[in-house]
């Protein structure tokens, strides 16, 4: 797998995770234990987005030796 493909795969899983966490968060207004814990999960997911998702568009292809 090239670097770009790896990043895309990571990002795909992060977005799936986010979708589930958001759904939990949105349906838990009356359940603070889920609401507040899913807020924290979303904050951690945000860190994964900063580390991975932000790079997907800027990374061109593989490492120089993979080109």
Partner 1 sequence: MPQEREYWNPFMETLPEDEIRSLQLKKFRRIFQWAYDHSRFHRNLYEKAGIRPEDIRSLDDIRHVPTVEKSMMRDIQRKDPFPYGDALCVPLEEVTEFRQTSGTTGQPVYQPDTWVDWEWWSECWAYILWAQGYRPSDRVFIPFGYNVFVAFWAGHYAAEKIGCEVVPGGVLDTKARILKIQELKPTAMMATPTYVLAMADTARNKMGIEPSTLGIQKITCAGEPGASIPSTKRRMEEAWGARVYDHAGATEIGAWSYECKAQPRGLHVNEGFFLVEIIDLETGEPIEEPGRQGKLVITAFDRLAQPCVRFDSKDIIQWSDERCSCGRTFRLIKGGVVGRTDDITKVKGVLLAPSAIEEVVRSIDGLSDEYEVVVDKKGDTDRITLKVELLPGHESDKERIEALLQDQLRLKTNLGYHLEFHEYGTLPRYEVKARRFKDLRKNH
Distance (Å, rounded) from C-alpha 35 to C-alpha 41? 10
Binding to partner 1 (CB under 8 A) within 3-42 occurs at 3, 6-7, 39-40, 42
CB of 24 to partner 1, least distance (A): 16
Position of tokens 């349906």?
27
Distance (Å, rounded) from C-alpha 36 to C-alpha 30? 11
Distance (Å, rounded) from C-alpha 58 to C-alpha 21? 26
Binding of partner 1 at residue 47 (CB under 8 A)?
yes
Binding of partner 1 at residue 57 (CB under 8 A)?
yes
Footprint of partner 1 on this chain (CB under 8 A)?
3, 6-7, 39-40, 42-44, 46-47, 50-52, 54-55, 57-60, 64
């Amino acid at each position: 797998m090239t670097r770009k493909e790896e990043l895309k795969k990571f990002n795909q899983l992060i977005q799936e995770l986010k979708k589930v966490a958001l759904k939990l968060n949105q349906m838990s207004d009356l359940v603070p234990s889920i609401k507040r814990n899913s807020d924290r999960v979303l904050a951690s997911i945000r860190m994964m987005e900063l580390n991975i998702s932000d790079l997907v568009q800027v990374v061109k292809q593989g490492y120089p030796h993979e080109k």
